[in-house]
Structure 1
């Protein structure tokens, strides 16, 4: 009788603790990359006075346009690595009515000394 009680208690204890784990890293979390991947060398080629066609040729099509017009382009790259905080790089380009680049907003700036992307923290896209 005592053996059956111990066996039943062990089975119940095993079932109750089967879902518990102290190893958080066992669960696979894939890296998620979204948006326009910007390289410092390509961003360095952009300067005021360029046309929209020249910018699109250099950086590709923007991820977002200004919803109230076509004068502001947003190049957004968002990266979520498995165990790190979300990082976001945003490059905002403003054009005048003629389609000429007038303002480049990239804080902090991508520079050629960095091998990979330099990210800035930003608000969620959603």
Structure 2
């Protein structure tokens, strides 16, 4: 019986026991419990449906640049092609990618290829999150509400002292020349 009382666990076994119990508790934590913050990001050159509709074949490069802005991708190997790409990334929503490609022949716009682009109002709507607000306050005052406030009667204004008159002349801003 004395041998049983003198038996001690080796430190390695004790550390292994604590480690297995600690890791066993981690198995019950759901993966969705801890989510990192993902900021909303708009990358690239936003091109709206209205800008796309303003493009016409036969426009010169300067006119296209005035409408769409500087291209995101202008390759040295494809000097007659400009690419406009942009994406919207929001937390909890899959990324939305859009692209527009314009092809020139010489200095004149020849071809336009694009995805279905959002209008400016649709794009702004995708950026703004719907806010949940409480009940809106009542913006109208009834006669009873107005009676609670003191009224400005002519008698109250007559008891105020008259304002002091302004001086007729002021001192010069700069000293006199010597």
TM range (shorter): 0.5 to 0.7
**Aligned twin of 2:4:** none
1:102 is displaced (CA, Å) by 0.3
Q: Deviations over 1:5-50 (max 9, x none)?
A: xxxx7xx649x54xx4443464311122210011221121111111
Please tell me whether Structure 1 or Structure 2 has the larger radius of gyration of its CA atoms: 2
Matched, 1:107 2:115: yes
Contact 1:40-1:111 at 8 Å conserved across structures: yes
The normalised TM-score by structure 2 is 0.49
Matched, 1:47 2:56: yes
Unpaired runs of at least 5, structure 2: 1-17, 125-178
Distance 1:35 1:24, change over 3 A: farther
Contact 2:45-2:71 at 8 Å conserved across structures: yes
Q: CA RMSD in A?
A: 3.0
Unpaired runs of at least 5, structure 1: 1-8, 118-126
Number of residue pairs matched by the alignment: 106
- Larger helix percent: 2
Distance in 2, matches of 1:30 and 1:96, equals: 41
**Aligned twin of 2:15:** none
1:73 is displaced (CA, Å) by 0.2
Distance 1:25 1:104, change over 3 A: farther
What are the residue-to-residue correspondences of 1:1-126 with 2, within 5 Å? 13=22, 17=26, 20-24=29-33, 26-97=35-106, 99-108=107-116, 110=117, 115-116=122-123
Distance 1:96 1:83, change over 3 A: same
Contact 2:40-2:90 at 8 Å conserved across structures: yes
Q: Which runs of 4+ in 1 moved over 6 A?
A: none
